Structure 1
Amino acid sequence: MPQSDQFTFGPQICGSLSDDGGGGREWLVADGIGGYATGTVSGLRTRRYHALMTVSGQDSVRHTALAALDLTVTLHSGTKVALFTHEWESGAVDPAGHRFLETFTLADGLPRWRWRIGDVVIERELALRHGYPSLAVVHRVVNAPGPVGLAIAAMCTWRDAHGERHADGPPLNVEPVADGVVVADAYRLAGPGWQPGGGWHLGVHARLEADRGLSATEDLCLAGTFFQQVEPGGQVEISAWAGDLSERPPAASVVIAAERERAHRLVTAAKAEGYAGTLVLAADRFVIRAPDGPDVVAGYPWFGGYLGDTMTAYEGLFLDTGRADEGRELLISRTRMATRAAARTEEPWQRHDSLDSPLWLAHAVDRHVTRTGDSDLAAKLAMPLGRLLRRRLSGSGPLSVDPADELLRLSPPAGHDAGSWMNGWTGDGPVTPRIGKPVEINALWVNALAAMCDLLAEAGIDDGEPRARHARARESFVARFPAPEGWLYDVVEGPAATYPLGAGAHHDDPSLRPNQLLAWSLPHAPMRGHGGAAVRTIGETLLTPLGLRTLAENEYGYQGRHRGGRDDRDMAYHQGTVWPWLIGPYADACAATGRPPEGVLTGLEAHLSEWGVGSVSETADGDAPHRATGCPFSARSVAEVLRVKRGYSL
């Protein structure tokens, strides 16, 4: 295991295409504006998303551009050795360049491959230029008895990152320019010895898309090849960029050096060491600069930005990485945007985001003000946040305040009742409906009322109404949610028939889930001071090395594997699947009930080298050995692991 932010794998991992080898470990670099490069340690493209340059364009729509740079070495003897690997629709793997991989290293967040062909050693290193849609790749001849030829074939496409492109579709425009080519009028490649190509490689297969029940084949255009004879110690530099195609980026080696220096600055600014430094660099991948200010990508390679995910991850991504100023800007812009959206009577809520996102926003603002002492921010956002909560809970949308007890009830229109972060959905409807009064939404509500009281006081505004409402909501929560089983109900006053809504009958659901942790973990949690037996039970039942299960193994409907097609995966999404981000609420709940969260990160630290290298996955199987699933790089997971590590000095 690495002792710092460097991960190195040897030939047994690199030379294997299995899930446990180089075919199942992925790397990621990001450009800071929504684009990214990602692939596997082995070099095999196993996802439709694997590419050396994916560009984020207007409205944050991502397009895959440069799929691969296929390297072939010509030895002094004239022998040609292919160092790249493709899998084809037939099932064949050809060529099998991964067999020559000696090491893969992720250092300072940047990937480096080293191939050995006898006494010839070749390295590839790449980076994305921060703030620009621009790729830099350097190939070095580290050792050789004489000059060798490096041929680097550009395998190109231009498509939506979530789709495929085929040779029998619209033609891909390829225009030659000085030392390279412009593809689809969208991006440019430049390097030495450019030789125009042509034609398509048909039936390139992405095995993980097939496993997910999605289209798994595409065709790639051979736009051309860079070629140069290179002496030992020499190198070939290639650049690719979108945007202003006439403006050349700095040399590839300059970009790579600058990105390494930037990584060092990030870790130094965060005052982080070892694994904490690794997590700081992982967190940086999710923070981007959008046209309207800072934003957060929820997960790579397929997620965009969501208010709920962003605010759940806020503290770890910004306050634990030394980026409070950036975070402040984000909180102001997102509060403004959410308030404007809530004012649109024709669209009082957004289906694509969690209904509890305004409550997480109030929590994030409260944590920022508490940790930084920024009373000016409290004064700026207290009133807009109050208006946002009133509009969201006015009764025109799915959430409303029950005047009988001041708790929140979820009563959405038919077909829109997935509710909070538990938003699994299939063609038959929501998998875990939150109709009624869900424990997590009401814990967030009680917390938000108290947070609003503090923000108003910090802003010098004396308003007794929030304090009275908070006291009543907290009292109702404490009286209503404890279940005879010894933990909290997951939902109270839900329909007797889960879906559709029953005819007036109500049901209290005692399913053992981790949602109730928020009732102890939040700063103004309603159950603080009311004992920790439930938290102990959750630890004994739901805690795994990679986080917490979303349902106890002995509960009806438990699913221990998060695999298969989309409906299969969504059915298991919150029915036992492990979510690493829940380690944050669990650690806080343990501390709140007098049990220091010692040892809870051991498995998660080991996980940094197991799937998304240097990062933390979105989910994992509920059953041992808890194989990672979902997106390999998750903002909430990274943020909460980092927050716990730094907050509890683990």
Structure 2
Amino acid sequence: MITISFGPQVCGALVEGAAREWLVPDGLGGYAMGTVCGLRTRRYHGLLMVSGATAAARTLALASLDPVLTIGGDEYRLGTHEWASGSVAPAGHTFLERFSLIDGLPRWRWRVGDVVLERELAMVYGRPALAVVHRLLAGGPVRLDLQALCTWRDGHGERGAGGGPLAVDRVAGGAVIERAYRLDGPDWRAAGTWWTGVHHREEAARGLAADEDLFHAGTFGAELREPGDVLEVRAWAGALDDTPPPAREVISAARRRNRAVVAAAAPADDVDATLALAADAFVVRTADAPDVVAGYPWFGAWSRDTMIAYEGLLLTTNRAEEGRRLLLGYAATLSEGMLANTADTGSVEYNTVDGTLWFLHAVARHVTVTGDTDLAEELLPALRDVVDAHLRGTRYGIRVDPDDGLLTQGAAGEALTWMDARVRGVPVTPRAGKPVEVNALWINGLAGIVDLARRTRGDAGAAPVAHRTALASFRRRFPAPAGWLYDVVDGPQGDDAALRPNQLLAWSLPYAPMRADARALRAISKGLLTPIGLRSLGPREKGFQREHRGNSDGRDGAYHMGTVWPWWVGPFIDTCAKSAVSDAELLSGIEGHLTEFGLGSVSETADGEPPHSATGCPFQAWSVGELVRVRRC
């Protein structure tokens, strides 16, 4: 894997160190997450974030373990916190001499004179359980204490001291907090005080509540007399009497598993290896079947995101059997020809026009890549039903126009395409009518069904005729005088020729309706291409937003109005390949991004103008999935 390591000028500085975040997932949707310098900049940062009924229904448990070193008679506090007053205290990051991400696991080293202390941590895969090991590397003897700063609150919220103290029950080796999770380690001493006004600078920048209180439940401690001595702490939720393995064993097991994940993906180089492990973070276990977390730290599972990321996360990394079970699980949610879009709230909604079409694409790719005709035969009746439902018409005005065979959609107050941002409930880009990528996916999906029927000698139903009709209409209707494709035709205000990346699917998909057009590709390159992805709107277009920043209204208003989306690099490179345009060095910027924001991963979005600073989720499934796919195809 690529080397990710920083010295004191990064990890010892708040601005640089706090801008780089690490993630250690537990395989269930929970995680440990924080920054290189140790400052908690988000409400989502903590050492034990526990997933609930859905991957997005997370609860923060252990927020921090603050190390305190006593050398002789002098005390050195190695934790780092920012406060509502604006002060930073303690400032333990100034003692950091190194941070490294090794096999996906973070490692810190503090130096105080001739004393060097190291911290490593890992999660138990498949359990909400954390293991932390502190090891004396040089110097000694020293006293090490670890202050456990606790809470038990919704991952999206805050908790204050006004509600009273947390329930702390003493048990052998530590304590049970709020009867929800357990802490275990040596020499537990109860504390029971609130640390009030802990500030999260990233939440403040996003216009959200930025302060919370943390409960100092107690402190672990040990004498580290010589190099090699360790202090181990574990924290876990769920079955509290089911004690995890010793902390050092957990870390060794996590390292072995991560190396096995990478080896199974058969990476071609260090970047491929890094991306294979990044992809693993998003594939999670559920009670029924594998699923995909759309992004960390705040997203759960979304069908559109899952299906866009599917090939890169599961097929390219040689996890087809998990993918097969995932596809069958999603197929079971089909209703009136639409795939369920399981929202982060846990409710089941049917509110996308393209999620189902991406599902058709994922099934076709799975069968093409794996040769799994049994799956094709099993799902073909359901896929025919999807076509029939769209021909009849389904929810939100989604239907095939009988006049041209193209798919139209739209309902008042709804945004059904991937450009679904709202400001105070009002869609920013409703795109009612016949969006270009929706119809490219429709045509691609119909052709995929025809191919699946051929492979299984089954019945393609209405797909062949629907495909021929839509294909001819697409080629006639979508070319625009500007030299590229219309973004939407037959919209409320007519045809929309705004320069957006959506048209790339008309050339990039396996059964794309158009041949790649070098002229259009040049226009897209000039107006949309950036080092880490494509802008969602050209800079010369009306409404272009330079930055994806500010409060919720500001961010949502810019979300699809110029903000860069790394996942679009996949369709762009596919189109380059089909048009014989060189794609050399197109990925160098996004590969460099692997060490800039979400370490070893790819962000959700970035600002529309240079330097294209990353925004949104630091770890995003479809961004990683598409980069994995196009690097290996």
Determine if the TM-score, normalized by the shorter chain, exceeds 0.5: yes
3-state SS of the aligned residue for 1:86? strand
> Is 1:525 aligned with 2:525?
no
**Cα gap change, 1:113/1:168 in structure 2, threshold over 3 Å: closer, same or farther?**
same
Task: Give the letter aligned to residue 595 of structure 2.
Answer: S
Residues 343 and 391 of structure 1 are in contact (CA less than 8 Å); yes or no, is this contact kept in structure 2? no
For the residues of structure 2 that align with 1:219 and 1:332, how far apart are their CA atoms?
44
Residues 427 and 106 (structure 1 numbering): CA distance in 2 closer, same or farther, change over 3 Å? same
Residue from 133, 137, 141 that aligns with 2:128: 133
Structure 1's unaligned 5+ residue stretches are: 497-506
Report Cα offsets for 1:394-447 as digits up to 9, x if no partner: 4231211100011011122x211x121111111161111110111011110010
Counterpart selection for 2:315 from 302, 312, 319: 319
Equivalent residues of 1:128, 1:134 under 8 A apart: yes
* Alpha-carbon distance, 1:291 to partner: 0.8
Q: Secondary structure at the match of 2:368?
A: helix
**C-alpha contact 1:306 1:353 (8 A) present in aligned 2:** no
The aligned residue for residue 299 of structure 1 is 295
Structure 1 distance, partners of 2:29, 2:337, is 23
% identical equivalent positions: 55
Q: Which residue of 2 aligns with 1:54?
A: 49
CA gap 1:646/1:117 in 2 versus in 1, 3 angstroms: same
The Cα shift of 1:553 comes to: 0.6
Residue 575 (structure 1) shift: 0.5
Q: What is residue 76 of structure 2 aligned with on the other side?
A: 81
Alignment match of 2:324 (pick from 318, 323, 328): 328
In structure 2, the CA distance between the partners of 1:369 and 1:341, relative to structure 1 (3 Å rule), is: closer
Residue 102 (structure 2) pairs with residue 107 (structure 1):
yes
Task: Call closer, same or farther: CA 1:380–1:247 in 2, change over 3 Å.
Answer: same
Equivalent in the alignment of 1:213: 207
The answer as to 2:139 corresponding to 1:155 is: no
Count matched residues.
624
* Aligned counterpart, 1:544: 530
> Does residue 1:36 correspond to 2:31, yes or no?
yes
Does residue 486 in structure 1 map to residue 495 in structure 2?
A: no
Aligned to 2:353: 355
Which of 429, 433, 437 aligns to 1:440? It is: 437
1:338 CA displacement: 2.8
Picking from 573, 587, 604, the partner of 2:590 is 604
1:277 is the counterpart of 2:273: yes
CA displacement at 1:341 relative to structure 2: 8.8
Quote how far apart the aligned CAs of 1:339 are.
4.2
CA contact (8 A) 1:34 1:297 kept: yes
Whichever residue aligns with residue 68 of structure 1, its letter is S
Distance 2:53 2:426 in 1: 32
Distance 1:59 1:340, change over 3 A: farther
Contact 2:405 2:473 in 1 (8 A): yes
Among residues 260, 282, 288, which one is paired with 1:286 in the alignment? 282
Instruction: Name the CA shift for 1:87/1:464 in 2 (closer, same or farther; >3 Å).
Output: closer
CA deviation digits over 1:89-126, x for unaligned, max 9?
Answer: 00000010000000000011100000011110000000
1:223 matches 2:223:
no
Q: Which amino acid aligns with 1:260?
A: R
**Are the counterparts in 2 of residues 182 and 189 from structure 1 also a CA contact under 8 Å?**
yes
Instruction: Give 1:489 deviation, angstroms.
Output: 0.4
Give the match's secondary structure for 1:236: strand
Indicate conservation of the 8 Å contact 2:351/2:416, yes or no: no
Residues 538-596 of structure 1: CA distance to partner in whole angstroms, max 9, x if unpaired?
11211000100011111110001000000100110010000000000100111111224
**Alignment match, 1:374:** 372
1:95 matched to 2:90: yes
1:265 matched to 2:266:
no
CA 1:457–1:485: 2 relative to 1, 3 Å: same
Deviations 1:238-288 (A, max 9, x none): 100111101100001000000100111111111113010000000000000
Match of 1:467 in 2: 464
State the alpha-carbon separation in 1 of the partners of residues 527 and 206 from structure 2. Answer: 29
Give the equivalent residue in structure 2 for 1:235: 230
1:504 aligned residue:
none
What one-letter code is carried by the residue in structure 2 that aligns with 1:558?
F
415, 424, 427: which one aligns with 1:427? 424
**Alignment partners' CA distance in 2, 1:100 and 1:359:** 52
TM-score for the superposition, normalised by structure 1 = 0.94
Provide the C-alpha distance between the structure 2 equivalents of 1:556 and 1:617, rounded to a whole number of angstroms: 26
Tell me whether 1:584 sits opposite 2:570 in the alignment. Answer: yes
Q: Is the 8 A contact 1:6 1:108 kept in 2?
A: no
Q: Distance in 2 between matches of 1:646 and 1:204?
A: 44
Within-5 A mapping of 1:496-515: 496=493, 507-515=494-502
Find out whether 1:365 has 2:363 as its counterpart.
yes
Structure 1 residue 355: Cα displacement: 2.4
SS at match of 2:130: strand
Change (3 A) 1:340 1:70: farther
Return the letter of the residue paired with 2:363. V
- Deviates further, 329-338 or 619-628: 329-338
Q: Is the 2:187–2:221 contact (alpha carbons within 8 Å) kept by the matching residues of 1?
A: yes
For 2:539, the equivalent position in structure 1 comes to 553
What SS is found at the alignment partner of 1:54?
A: strand
Aligned partner of residue 561 in structure 2, secondary structure: coil
Deviates more, 1:229-238 or 1:134-143: 229-238
C-alpha distance in structure 1 between counterparts of 2:632 and 2:326, whole Å: 22
User: Partner letter of residue 152 of structure 2?
Assistant: W
Aligned to 1:384: 382
Structure-2 change in CA distance of 1:203 and 1:615 (3 Å): same
Q: Give yes or no for the alignment of 1:173 onto 2:171.
A: no
Match of 1:52, SS state, is: strand
Moved more, 388-397 or 437-446: 388-397
Q: Give the letter aligned to residue 193 of structure 1.
A: D
Report SS of the residue matched to 1:22.
helix
Residues of 2 paired with 1:631 and 1:114: CA distance? 27
| CA distance 1:353–1:40, shift in 2 (3 Å) | farther
Change (3 A) 1:290 1:464: closer
Measured in 2, the distance between the counterparts of 1:127 and 1:389 equals 46
- Secondary structure at the aligned position of 1:421 is classed as coil
The CA distance in 2 between the partners of 1:251 and 1:587, in whole Å, is 46
Q: Which digits, 9 at most, give the CA deviation of each residue in 1:513-541, with x for residues without a partner? A: 0000000000001012x633212211121
Where does residue 501 of structure 1 map in the other structure? Answer: none
Where structure 2 has 5 or more consecutive residues not aligned to the other structure, the ranges are none
* 1:634 and 2:620 matched: yes
Letter in structure 2 aligned against 1:364:
A
Equivalent residue of 2:595, what SS?
coil
2 CA distance for matches of 1:636 and 1:354? 17
User: For residue 401 of structure 1, what is the aligned residue in structure 2?
Assistant: 400
Q: 1:142 aligns to what?
A: 137
Q: Distance in 2 between matches of 1:170 and 1:200?
A: 9
SS of match in other structure, 2:24: strand
Is the 8 Å Cα contact of residues 354 and 419 (structure 1) preserved in structure 2? Answer: yes
1:465 to partner: Cα distance: 3.0
Q: How far did residue 642 of structure 1 move?
A: 1.0
Alignment correspondent of 2:449: 452
- Indicate how the Cα distance of structure 1 residues 430 and 557 shifts in structure 2: closer, same or farther if over 3 A, else same: same
One-letter amino acid matched to 2:309: A
Match of 1:500 in 2: none
Residues 236 and 639 (structure 1 numbering): CA distance in 2 closer, same or farther, change over 3 Å? same
CA contact (8 A) 1:307 1:353 kept: no
SS at match of 1:263: helix
Looking at structure 2, the residues matched to 355 and 521 of structure 1 have their Cα atoms a distance apart, in angstroms, of: 19
